[in-house]
Amino acid sequence: MRLVATMGLSEGVELAKPIYNDKGKILIQKNIILTKAMIKRLIELNVSYVYIKDDLSDDIVIHSPIPEELKIESIQMIKSIFDSYKDKDFKNQSFLIDKSSEKMATLIDNMMRQIQQNEEAISILSDIFICDDYLFHHSVNVSIYSIALANQLQWSRKQIQQLGLGAILHDVGKVFLPDEILKKAGKLTDQEFEMMKTHTELGFEFLRSSSEIPLLVAHCAYQHHERLNGSGYPRGIINDEIHAFGKVLGIADVFDAMTTDRVYRKAMLPHEALETLYAGSGTLFDAEMVRLFRSSIAVYPNGVTVQLSDNRHAIVIRQNNAMYNRPVVRVISEGGQSVPPYDLDLNKHLDVMITGYIL
């Protein structure tokens, strides 16, 4: 299977992966032949890419960092936990979070196991969801990215468990903000943005009122928007005033936000989002963490079509773990002419580079 832009689809192509909504319900089943009306609907629903089946890509395997069922289960669990906090005066509701902390710990353990088993670089592009409830989906993705980066940092199991819990709960303060702000399609006004920023403090206050949640987890909510040079919020703390967990979460949070479709803009591809992280490396984000993060992410995920520096087009078929930007590819055209497909290991052809995506 391979990934193509929904905009460029023509009717008659076969879908290779089902399309889910965030309640885990299948909206379009795999193996369905797409009609014009279905393609139009997908574009309306802001689905930028879909996986299709064809002869060129029959044998390409797309790995998800965690199985789709676990992801759906996680999203549903977070949704029900967050919903139970909503519309409450959180100062007296710490028992709610005490009650859910065990469930969340089991979820993190499951995720850790899956991510540690998965030896390939992580690609979340492989999950195509139509997402009404961005917050829950985002919490799961940030947990996956944070755990992957913490593995690279060789943190202990206990540290990763705490970080994972901090990742699931980093935006919990948002449940105390009005929907008009959270789901606003356009740009926030200055005043609305000031209100949005308070989710960090609200989350911190809420989490630290719990006797079951470690204080460090509460600090994940407090610090994930802080930046090394002091340009973050809410406190504008700098460098090592920011806890390592806050630094990891800042990277995972920004990367997921950039690579996810939102109502007001299209998703960036992983290499573009990584460039943005690199632009802030050392000033906004910890340079070593950005470097390690890059090596845990599939910059060119399996199934995407890329342009090579010598004007060949090719589909990425497999990752080279040591060389994040040199996967094995299948050449499908040369100088604009289709050719019988053949495979090329870019790690063995260092004179050839990937210069961009073709989607």
State in angstroms the smallest separation of the CB of 170 from Fe ion: 6
Alpha-carbon gap, residue 6 to 8, rounded angstroms: 5
State in angstroms the smallest separation of the CB of 225 from Fe ion: 6
State in angstroms the smallest separation of the CB of 159 from Fe ion: 21
Closer CB to Fe ion, 108 or 252, in the complex:
252
Contact, 196 vs 188, CB < 8 A? yes
Closer CB to Fe ion, 122 or 254, in the complex:
254
State in angstroms the smallest separation of the CB of 304 from Fe ion: 28
State in angstroms the smallest separation of the CB of 172 from Fe ion: 10
Closer CB to Fe ion, 15 or 165, in the complex:
165
State in angstroms the smallest separation of the CB of 224 from Fe ion: 6
What is residue 288's three-state secondary structure? helix
According to DSSP, the β-strands at 49-53 and 2-5 are antiparallel
Give residue number: closest CB to Fe ion. Answer: 171
Closest CA to 59 of 28, 16, 29, 20: 16
State in angstroms the smallest separation of the CB of 123 from Fe ion: 23
Closer CB to Fe ion, 202 or 316, in the complex:
202
Closer CB to Fe ion, 133 or 171, in the complex:
171
State in angstroms the smallest separation of the CB of 228 from Fe ion: 17
Closest CA to 108 of 30, 58, 169: 169
Closer CB to Fe ion, 232 or 327, in the complex:
232
Contact, 163 vs 154, CB < 8 A? no
Alpha-carbon gap, residue 147 to 249, rounded angstroms: 10
According to DSSP, the β-strands at 129-130 and 337-345 are unpaired
Closer CB to Fe ion, 134 or 293, in the complex:
134
Alpha-carbon gap, residue 140 to 55, rounded angstroms: 33
Closer CB to Fe ion, 171 or 261, in the complex:
171
- The residue ranges that bind Fe ion (CB under 5 A) are 171
Neighbours of 186 (CB within 10 A): 8
Supply the DSSP string of 56-122, one letter for each residue: GGTT-----SS-HHHHHHHHHHHHHHHHHHTTS-GGG-HHHHHHHHHHHHHHHHHHHHHHHH--SPB
Output b/e per residue, 197-207; b: 16+ Cβ within 10 A. ebbbebbbbbb
| C-alpha torsion angle, residues 301, 68, 23, 204 (rounded to 10) | -80
